[in-house]
């Protein structure tokens, strides 16, 4: 009995987490890397007062190339740093700098300027999870409902 309740609660939590995540992502421009089979994932990021896009969806288990193009001279955005990968690169104005990443585990990986003022996020998730569900399905119907099993 106790185990059943726990499982139900975990399921509800997962659903809520998914909903929050879904709407958070869908509310902003986002880029899912082109998902050609087995190929490198290519993402182009414009750097100008921030990162555009600042949310980048990647599939796990495949290498990625992030192409940063800095279109300003402000010192703030001069470097881009990926603390999780111990990568930092200078971004000369007007040049495209490519950062190659090995295949990643699902998760969230932040990147930022050297001062941490401009921020972006890589979200590594299975394509089916991120893009395979229709909005308006049963998950959405549960939003805001707190299910307490009797
Ligand atoms: Cu900065």
Q: How far is it, in rounded angstroms, from Cα 16 to Cα 22?
A: 10
Residue 1 CA to ligand 1 centre (angstroms): 53
What residue spans define the domains of the chain? Answer: 28-140
- List, for residues 87-122, the tens digit of each pLDDT value: 999 999 999 999 999 999 999 999 999 999 999 999
CA 12 vs CA 26, 106, 150: distances in Å: 21, 21, 14
Query: What is the CATH code of the structural domain delimited by 28-140?
Result: 2.60.40.420
Element (H, E) at 110: strand 107-113
Residue 126 confidence (pLDDT): 86
Q: What is the pTM of this model?
A: 0.63
Degrees, nearest 5: CA angle 78-81-84: 180
Residue 3 confidence (pLDDT): 55
Residue 70 CA to ligand 1 centre (angstroms): 13
Residue 114 CA to ligand 1 centre (angstroms): 6
């Amino acid at each position: 009995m106790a185990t059943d309740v726990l499982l139900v609660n975990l399921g509800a939590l997962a659903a809520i987490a998914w909903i929050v995540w879904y709407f958070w992502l869908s509310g902003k421009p986002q880029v899912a890397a082109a998902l050609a089979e087995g190929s490198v994932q290519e993402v182009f990021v414009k750097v100008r007062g921030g990162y555009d896009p600042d949310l980048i969806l990647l599939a796990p288990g495949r290498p990625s190339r992030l192409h940063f193009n800095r279109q300003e001279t402000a010192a703030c955005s001069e470097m881009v740093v990926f603390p999780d990968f111990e990568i930092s690169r200078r971004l000369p104005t007007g040049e495209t700098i490519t950062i190659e990443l090995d295949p990643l585990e699902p998760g969230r990986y932040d990147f930022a300027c050297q001062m941490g003022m401009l921020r972006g996020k890589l979200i590594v998730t299975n394509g089916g999870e991120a893009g395979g569900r229709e909005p308006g399905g049963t998950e959405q119907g549960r939003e805001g409902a707190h299910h307490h099993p009797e």
